[in-house]
Structure 1
Amino acid sequence: MSKFYWLFGCKPACDRPGAVCQDPRFIGGDGIMFYFHGKKDKDFCLLSDSDIHINGHFIGKRSNKGRDFTWVQAIGILFDSHKLYIGAQKVAKWEDSIDNMLIELNGMRIRVPIVEGQTSWWSQEARLDIQGQAETNNKARVKVEGLFEIDARVVPITLEESKVHGYDVTEDDCFAHLELNFKFDSHTEMVDGVLGQTYRPNYRSRVKMAAVMPIMGGADKFASSHLFAADCAVSKFGIVKGGSSREQRSTDEMNWLKNV
């Protein structure tokens, strides 16, 4: 089981395992930091396992460095028969008081009611629990029992960040995006994806740790056709059916690992 660090009411910790922040900066399940730039306006598999598949939608703009500046604008999660969307809405000028986070379950927007100063919403069918804080609309904790917890926060690119990093962000779009922390309650040894692969017990990072910006390559194999597609080359979603026994699951995993 992976460790999970987050103090509710604070922003996701970008220096802990399971983090996805900034231009996307990842902290893998192995604790190693790396960058995965992907490509703007494209979708990439962040994690794929037998019972869950998570894609990220990347936004960004061209730079003079030979690659796109990119950020994760939304994630699409497949589990059971459900589709869960968590995303940052496009805004020109950032206002802290405006709710810029959009959450949808199976295409229906979730409007979380305020209960005793906190926001709380529950779906028994999907085992989905969403919590937030009334005074900070752009933060939420999203949990599906037995599968995952995600702490999400919507943030903009500030003028200061833009100047320091050369993003050249203009007044018509502040590139609102997600900062995320993941905790996975269970996963198989087949788990894959940009982030997911780092949770394998036999995983060895291939990034150049001595580099100023250690970059994870392989964008082609992680590319998905859309946010809710499990068609990337490394997809494992549904390989082991939900009714399989633990023994059969273990056998399937070992057979798959022999061919890696």
Structure 2
Amino acid sequence: MPGAVCQDPRFIGADGITFYFHGKKDKDFCLVTDNNIHINGHFIGKRNKNMGRDFTWVQSIGVLFDNHKLQISAQKTSIWNENNDRISITVDGENIYLPEYEGANWQSSTLLITRIHDTNNIIVEVENLFKITAKVVPITKEESRIHNYGITDDDCFAHLDLKFKFFALSDEVDGVLGQTYKSDYVSKVKMGVLMPVMGGDNKFMSANSFATDCSVAKFKGSSRDNGSSLNMELPSLNCQSGLNGRGVVCKK
């Protein structure tokens, strides 16, 4: 369903069309950019010598809003244990600690962070601006075998499944996922193929998680009044990991 980014990374745009954007490992790409919000994704991955691209996953996101910087990351993990919390959160450079029980929360004047499971699953909310659900998931041995990822015991490539909901996007919104929210957006991917791929690596590439130097950047900072107040209530996507909802980033 629309508004998603999953696994290797598969995106489902606001127009309901599924596409892949592989990017490059160890690089950052703009997922959403508007005058009041900017979201970059940091990609990790493995080179497949038999293919012309990397296998990639979104390891972290950097979110700029108002005058704040939010980062949500999956910590590097060797052997996966779902009872071990591998999610990392920083707000304006400060590490945020959440007790490991469902419902634990941290709140500032603008931001609310809440655990929706004892470990590895949170919701981050800014009223009238966005809601992000983030879940840390691994690449399993079975997934690696099926897709020939080549995952070894030293790193399970823990990454994020993400679900976005936006409350105030303008029609200038852009980014790999953001562009699909435009009212006049026409999909650029080739339909009818097994893996429709969105290009534009150079257009969306950013210097780091909080950089606004990509060619499509729109972020202007603290004002929230420039948006069109569109309530982006989109159909849902179910991820393999169990995460589901609107505006998702997860696995194929």
What is the aligned counterpart of 2:209 among 204, 220, 227? 227
- The offset of 1:209, in angstroms, is 1.5
* 1:157–1:220 CA distance, 2 compared to 1 (3 A): same
Equivalenced residue count is 228
Does 1:71 pair with 2:53?
no
Alpha-carbon distance in structure 2 between the residues aligned to 1:246 and 1:61: 38
Percent identity reads 57
Alpha-carbon distance in structure 2 between the residues aligned to 1:176 and 1:242: 35
What is the aligned counterpart of 1:32 among 3, 14, 17? 17
Report what 1:94 is aligned to.
Answer: 80
Alpha-carbon distance in structure 2 between the residues aligned to 1:245 and 1:59: 34
Gaps of 5+ in 2: 229-252
Q: State whether residues 46 and 193 of structure 1, in contact with CA within 8 Å, keep that contact through their aligned partners in structure 2.
A: yes
- The offset of 1:97, in angstroms, is 1.0
Q: State whether residues 69 and 167 of structure 1, in contact with CA within 8 Å, keep that contact through their aligned partners in structure 2.
A: yes
- The offset of 1:242, in angstroms, is 2.2
- Over aligned residues, Cα RMSD in angstroms? 1.9
Alpha-carbon distance in structure 2 between the residues aligned to 1:75 and 1:233: 19
Report what 1:9 is aligned to.
Answer: none
SS in 1 for 2:146: helix
Moved over 2 A (4+): 241-247
Report what 1:242 is aligned to.
Answer: 223
Larger radius of gyration: 1
* 1:163–1:185 CA distance, 2 compared to 1 (3 A): same
Report what 1:130 is aligned to.
Answer: 113
Question: How do 1:40-189 residues align onto structure 2 when only pairs under 5 Å count?
Answer: 40-63=25-48, 64-113=50-99, 117-124=102-109, 127-135=110-118, 137-189=119-171
Q: State whether residues 169 and 227 of structure 2, in contact with CA within 8 Å, keep that contact through their aligned partners in structure 1.
A: no
TM-score by length of 1: 0.84
- Structure (1 or 2) with the greater helix fraction: 1
Alpha-carbon distance in structure 1 between the residues aligned to 2:198 and 2:36: 25
Alpha-carbon distance in structure 1 between the residues aligned to 2:164 and 2:174: 15
Does 1:18 pair with 2:18?
no
Paired letter, 1:223? M
User: What does the per-residue CA deviation read over 1:220-254, in whole Å, with 9 as the maximum and x for residues that have no partner?
Assistant: 00000111100100000118x7287789xxxxxxx
Report what 2:231 is aligned to.
Answer: none
Gaps of 5+ in 1: 1-15, 248-260
Alpha-carbon distance in structure 1 between the residues aligned to 2:56 and 2:226: 41
Report what 1:203 is aligned to.
Answer: 185
* 1:208–1:97 CA distance, 2 compared to 1 (3 A): same
* 1:32–1:120 CA distance, 2 compared to 1 (3 A): same
Task: Name the structure, 1 or 2, with higher relative contact order (CA <8 Å, separation 6+).
Answer: 2
